[in-house]
Structure 1
Amino acid sequence: MNKPKYYCFSDKKYNEDAYSFSSSHIMVLDGATGLSKKNYMSEDDAMWFVQMLKKEIEMHIKDPFSLSKIIDNAITEIQNLYSDIDSMDSIDLPNACISLFRFKEDKLEYFGLGDSVGIIQMKDGSIESFEDKKIDELDQSVIQHMISLSKEKQIPFLQTREEIEIKEHLIRNRKLSNQYYYILDPSKKGISHALIKEWNLKDIDRICCMSDGFSQILMYPGYSDIKQILDAIETNEPIEKQLYQYQEMDADCILYPRLKKRDDTTYIYLNFGL
């Protein structure tokens, strides 16, 4: 097995993505702060939440339990640090999407929640990718609302994020978490809805986990399918720089409408080799 290739960057003060790997796993976590922007546990609760998850999962990834149980136990530890979690509104809680592969004996296991992407290529060349597309559908509904409002009020597209109609739309979508779509948060409600899969390790060629901030590369020319992305990472092409160049050229999000110019950007890639 080769050493993983990875990348993790944020141009914000706090990176709310995290990645992790060992001889037993690779993982990407993508955090989000509560929409009220209140922070209870640190200067940035989303960063705190993903770092706590990362720490707990790393400590127990080799335990003889299912991935669901390991993550359940991790959130139990996090819950113990909150004093009044039951009284908190769901939109005030930090949350995270996760893409996690574990190598256990002769099996490859997967646990995924949210729009962090998991990708697997088999030795026969077939490729599967895993993510919850419901989150993107909800985001697209907001984007279309922003486009309409921009035209109606004759204001720049990104400026519509400050309009009350868009803020309310985002709150409505966030309140659908762990009801219409499922993620990790301190309530544990999403865990039982995770995508869980398993393969024979001998059949695997390569795997990759990425946050949605990186998987956005699929909307730009030159990377129209997942295999192109895997090949680019494998050959050390500066794919993340190309992503940033596209985003800088369209900083106002006009050509490729999106909720913000750039999100935290993370991937981890592993070629099993021979």
Structure 2
Amino acid sequence: MRHFHFTARGNAVNEDFVRSTSGYGIVIDGATGLAGAPLFAGRFGSNAQWFSHMVGAGACAALDAGASAEEALQSAVAAARAELEAALGCPLAQADPDAIPSATLALAIVSADAVELYGLGDSPLVAVMRDGSTLFSTDEVLEGLDAEALRVSGERAAACGRALSGPEKRALVNDVILDHRRMRNAEGGYWCLDPSGAGLAHLRRATIPRSGAVAVAGMSDGMWRAFGSFGLADAATELPALSVKRIEGLVAKLRGLEEKDADYVQYPRLKRSDDASVFWLGGEE
């Protein structure tokens, strides 16, 4: 299939990994642990950047060699775990869980007859079909937790009795965000990539006929802002003819709105800006 991928930094360090080929597309959106210092300084700017790139590069190498999605992810996560344990100087089970990086995943694998979709966390996968239907896949539990943190932030900000900056509003719910992060890869919580590999047994899966798919895209949640909460474009109408130039234009508009709304008033959110990454697969080469 024809393909492209794109990424734009939205924080101090771009913690997304994205790649596309004619046979697959992958986005991994890293989340740094909420404790501890960077372990791979000089190579990576944060532990989340290390994790997303370590797993992403390993998974791509395995896919290029003919591995299945599950095999590629398992081998890449196992290699990341080994490197992390060496850096920590202890087994993962003995490490501070709040310091362990994690990530979301959007992965599409193209075969002769089908496109297989795999997801973890809130990096959306979107497919537009020839019959006009749209398939959308994300983690509703994780999105619900983020919505809850945003609600609490609004309530606490209102109780302060003065206007707060965006970062001040975020700081009001650091405890909520930490509590939510501690729900990862546990029953009753949400499933994601992390060095334990526990989330891999809970991959969201869908298969669509290749002949029926007009376009398939996977995004980090920072890119989805343009289609979701900021409402700059409709994914169903944009995806069939999406291009790098169009994505660059959407991200430029997004950054402008984020800059103007630095206090998170018009567009309530937990971060002023976020890394924006997308892969796109469509048509035939």
Normalising by the residue count of structure 1, what TM-score does the alignment of the two structures yield?
Answer: 0.91
Q: Which residue of 1 aligns with 2:223?
A: 214
Within 2, Cα distance between the matches of 1:54 and 1:209? Answer: 14
Structure 1 gaps, min length 5? none
Q: Which residue of 1 aligns with 2:125?
A: 118
Checking the alignment, whether the CA contact within 8 Å between 2:24 and 2:109 is kept in structure 1 is: yes
Matched, 1:176 2:183: yes
Checking the alignment, whether the CA contact within 8 Å between 1:68 and 1:192 is kept in structure 2 is: no
Matched residue of 2:198: which SS? coil
Write the deviation string for residues 206-254 of structure 1: whole angstroms up to 9, x where unpaired. Answer: 111110001112222443x421442573494311112112212211101
1:228–1:252 CA distance, 2 compared to 1 (3 A): farther
Checking the alignment, whether the CA contact within 8 Å between 2:116 and 2:207 is kept in structure 1 is: yes
Identity %: 24
C-alpha RMSD over aligned residues = 2.0
**Structure 2 matches for 1:133-148, cutoff 5 A?**
133-148=140-155
Q: Which residue of 2 aligns with 1:23?
A: 22
Indicate which of 76, 79, 94 corresponds to 1:77. Answer: 79
Amino acid at match of 1:10: R
1:37–1:10 CA distance, 2 compared to 1 (3 A): farther
Checking the alignment, whether the CA contact within 8 Å between 1:94 and 1:185 is kept in structure 2 is: yes
Checking the alignment, whether the CA contact within 8 Å between 2:28 and 2:103 is kept in structure 1 is: yes
**Runs of 4+ in structure 1 displaced over 3 angstroms?**
62-66, 234-237
Matched, 1:243 2:250: no
Q: Which residue of 2 aligns with 1:256?
A: 267
Within 2, Cα distance between the matches of 1:60 and 1:37? Answer: 31
Amino acid at match of 1:6: H
Q: Which residue of 2 aligns with 1:186?
A: 195
User: Following TM superposition, by how much is the alpha carbon of 1:200 offset from its aligned partner in structure 2, in angstroms?
Assistant: 2.4
Within 2, Cα distance between the matches of 1:12 and 1:25? Answer: 27
Within 2, Cα distance between the matches of 1:71 and 1:96? Answer: 12
Matched residue of 1:219: which SS? coil
User: Following TM superposition, by how much is the alpha carbon of 1:190 offset from its aligned partner in structure 2, in angstroms?
Assistant: 0.4
Within 2, Cα distance between the matches of 1:79 and 1:205? Answer: 37
Residue-pair matches, total: 270
1:16–1:66 CA distance, 2 compared to 1 (3 A): same
User: Following TM superposition, by how much is the alpha carbon of 1:69 offset from its aligned partner in structure 2, in angstroms?
Assistant: 2.2
Matched, 1:267 2:278: yes
**Structure 2 matches for 1:82-161, cutoff 5 A?**
82-83=85-86, 84=90, 85-155=92-162, 156-158=164-166, 159-161=168-170
Normalising by the residue count of structure 2, what TM-score does the alignment of the two structures yield?
Answer: 0.88
Q: Which residue of 2 aligns with 1:68?
A: 70
Q: Which residue of 2 aligns with 1:8?
A: 7
Within 2, Cα distance between the matches of 1:152 and 1:232? Answer: 46
Write the deviation string for residues 159-214 of structure 1: whole angstroms up to 9, x where unpaired. Answer: 13334xx2211110000111211100001110001111222222221111110001
Matched residue of 1:12: which SS? coil
Structure 2 gaps, min length 5? none
Amino acid at match of 1:40: L
Matched residue of 2:242: which SS? helix
